[in-house]
Structure 1
Amino acid sequence: MARWTPDARSRLAKAALALYIERGFEQTTVAEIAGRAGLTERTFFRHFADKREVLFGGSAVLEAGLVAAVAEVPDGSPLEMMVAALETAGSFFVDDRRAWAGQRQGVIEANTSLMERELIKLRALGGALTGALVRRGVPESAAALATQVGLVVFWQAFGRWCRADHPADWGVTVRQVHAEVRAVVGAAPD
């Protein structure tokens, strides 16, 4: 096996996802993932803390990007700032990642412990986004509420975006879901 390959992380992620789909998450071992990728277990652990992190490794990058976006969006209501920040995540949710994201979500939804992990990561994202709004001068209770509504928009938009048949890009999807949320709660559209 090669000592170093420039695309090891990507190869490991692709191998892991394929095995999770074929065999199930619980039945797949790190040794099998590394073997499928043509790499060693040691190489796997250089890139991922455990086999769950193959599915959640991008969450830190997404969180950092959204927190930075909250700091930079124009002033507005807390929810308007949150939705504007969510729209900027379009660079994270690009079409060439859509199929992988949909398959990833299928694996997560088929496993209770992975769903729990997903919710923990979502909760951590919420805390970080609330903190970002508070640093912008939004009172904590308003920041927490705007974040919770923003996470509903995010979760619904992500579910739609990862479907292969969904034609809209990320920003359009976020705006559509936000408009639907506003209609459900009786607010007039922007």
Structure 2
Amino acid sequence: MGRWEPNARERLQQAALELYSERGFEQTTVAEIAKRAGLTERTFFRHFADKREVLFAGSETLHALFVSTAAAAPQSAAPIDAIAAALDAVASVFQDRHAHSRRRQTVIVANAELRERELIKLASLSAALADTLRQRGVPEPAASVAAEAGIAVFKVAFERWVGETDGRDLGFFIRESLDELKGVASGN
């Protein structure tokens, strides 16, 4: 096992997802993940704090994309439109990642600790979006309501997308869910 193996992080993520799918999250050890990836446990811990974080790597990138896109929306954009722009940008990140996302979601749904971690991630994202909207001059409670609604749209759309078998992309489900939200809000 070489110390400076190329693509170590990606190999560890792939090995972990395979093992979690095969054996379950609880039954899989860091040693097994490292071995499957052809790396050492020490290398694992250079990249991840624990075996849970393997599934949540990249959250910071998603968080930054959500916030920066909402912040960059035209100042004239309504709060929900700034959030919609962020949702569109995030959908592009998941292009060509359907199988991986579906597998990851299956592992998360099967474990209460991972579901809790996912909810914490979404709550943190909502708070950051609300803060971004406030910085754009959106008052409370409108900033928090728009941010929470945007995360609800993302969550519903993502869950529908990972269950999808027709090849429609995440953006389709985001737009559809956003239209549903606007319909509910307008009483249609």
2: distance between equivalents of 1:90 and 1:110?
A: 24
Q: Which runs of 5+ in 2 are unaligned?
A: none
| Cα pair distance change 1:164/1:6, threshold 3 Å | farther
Render the CA deviation track for 1:112-134: whole Å, top value 9, x for unaligned: 01101111111111111111111
What amino acid does structure 2 have at the position aligned with 1:80? D
After superposition, the CA RMSD in angstroms is 1.4
SS at match of 1:140: coil
The amino acid across from 1:154 in the alignment is F
Give structure 1 stretches of 5+ with no counterpart.
none
Over 3 Å counting, the alpha-carbon distance change for 1:185 and 1:171 in structure 2 is: same
Tell whether the 8 Å contact from 1:160 to 1:166 is kept in structure 2 after alignment. no
Structure 2 CA distance for aligned equivalents of residues 118 and 22 of structure 1? 21
In structure 2, the partner of 1:34 is 34
TM-score by length of 2: 0.94
Tell me the TM-score normalised to structure 1 length.
0.93
Residue 166 to residue 181, structure 1, CA distance change in 2 (3 Å): farther
The answer to whether structure 1 residue 45 and structure 2 residue 62 are counterparts is: no
Q: Which amino acid aligns with 1:129?
A: L
Identity %: 54
Number of paired residues? Answer: 187
| Amino acid aligned to 2:80 | L
Matched AA of 2:117: R
Distance in 2, Cα, partners of 1:167 & 1:143:
34
SS at match of 2:141: helix
- Relative to 1, partners in 2 of residues 1:185 and 1:140: Cα closer, same or farther, differing over 3 Å? closer
Whichever residue aligns with residue 28 of structure 1, its letter is T
In the other structure, the counterpart of 1:173 is: 173
Q: Specify the alignment match of 1:92 in structure 2.
A: 93
